[in-house]
Structure 1
Amino acid sequence: MSSIILASSGVLEASEGMAGRIFGLDLQMIVDAGILALAVLALFTLLSYLLFNPARELMRKRQEKIQSEMDSATTQKAEAEAFKAEYDSKLKGVNKEAEEILSQTRKKALKKETEIVEEAKVEATRIIDRANKEAELEKSKMKDEVKQEMISVASIMAGKIISTSINETEQSKLIEDTLKEMGDDTWQS
C-alpha cells in the first residue's frame, strides 16, 4: 500500500509542477511536436510525389480518354445520322429511278414489238411473193411439159396415121391405143 501512496504523491507533485503551463506542454514536447509535424510534412510531400502525382496523372489520362471517346461517339453519331439521312434520300430516289427505268423499258419493249411485227409482215409478204412466183414458174413449167407431151403424142399419132393410112375406125382405135400407152394420169393432171 505504501507504494500506492508514494505513486499518488508523485502524481500530485507532477500535477503541481504543471500548474503554470497550458495543457502541460513543456519545451521537449513542443520540439517533439515540431519534429513530428516536419516528419509528417516530409512524408506527405514524399507520398504526394510518389503516390498522389502518379494517381493524379492516371486520373487525368483517364479523363482525357473518356473525353476523347465521348467526342468520338458524338462525331460518329453525327456521321451516322448524316448517313441515315443520305440513305433515306437515296432510297426515295431509287424508287423514282426504278419507276423511270421500268417506264423506259416498257417503251423500248413496245417499240421492239412493233419492229418485230413489221419485220414479220415484210418477211411474210416476201415469202408469199416468192411462193407465188414459184407457183407461176411451176405452172408455166407444167404447161410447157403438157405442151411437149401433147406435141409428142400428136407426132406419134401423126406418124402412125401417115404410116397406116387407115380409115376412121382404125384411127379411133389408134388414138385409144396411144392414150393407153401414155396413161390416163398424164392427161388428167
Structure 2
Amino acid sequence: MHSIVALSAKALPEGRVFGLDTQTLVSIGIQLFNGIILALVLSFILYKPVKEFMQKRTDRIQGKLDTADSTMAKAKELIAEYDSKIRNIEQERMKILEAARIEAAEESKKIIEEAKVEAQEIKRRTRESISEDKERLKEETRLYIIELSSLIAEKYISRNIDDEIQDKLFEEAIAELEDAQWQN
C-alpha cells in the first residue's frame, strides 16, 4: 500500500497531491451517476414497498378504530335514549304503579349495563387485535432486517476476504443476530 502511494506521488508533478485531469473528472462524474442510480433503485426496491405496507397497516388499524368509535357512539346513543326513557318514566311515575316503575328501572339498568359491557368488549378485542398486529409487524420487520443484513454482509465480505475467513465471520454474525434482543 505504501509503495502504491509512493509511486502515485512520483507520477504527479511536484507540489500536487493528486492529478485533477479529465480522467479524474470523468471518473467522479461516473461515480456520481452510479450513486444516483443506486439511490433510485434502492428507493423503489426498499423504501416504497415498506412505506406502502406501513400505510396499508395504518389504514387497517384506523378502520378498526373507526369501527370501535362508531360502535361506542351507538352505545352512547342507546344510553342517551334509555336515559331519556328513564326521565319520561320519572315524569309519569305518579300515574304508574310501583311495580311497573321498578320493572322499567331494572330493565333500563340492564340494557345500559349490557351496552357498557359490549362497548368494553369491543374496545378490548380491538386493542388485542392491534397488539397482535403490532407484534407480528415487529417480528416481520426483525426477520427482514436480519435477511437484509446477511445479504449486505455477504456481499461485503465476499469482496474483501477469502472463503475461510468469510465463512467464519458469517457464522459469527448470524449467531449474534439470532441471540440479539429486539426491543421497542
Greater C-alpha Rg: 1
TM-score under structure 2 normalisation?
0.39
TM-score under structure 1 normalisation?
0.38
* Higher RCO (C-alpha under 8 Å, 6+ residues apart): 2
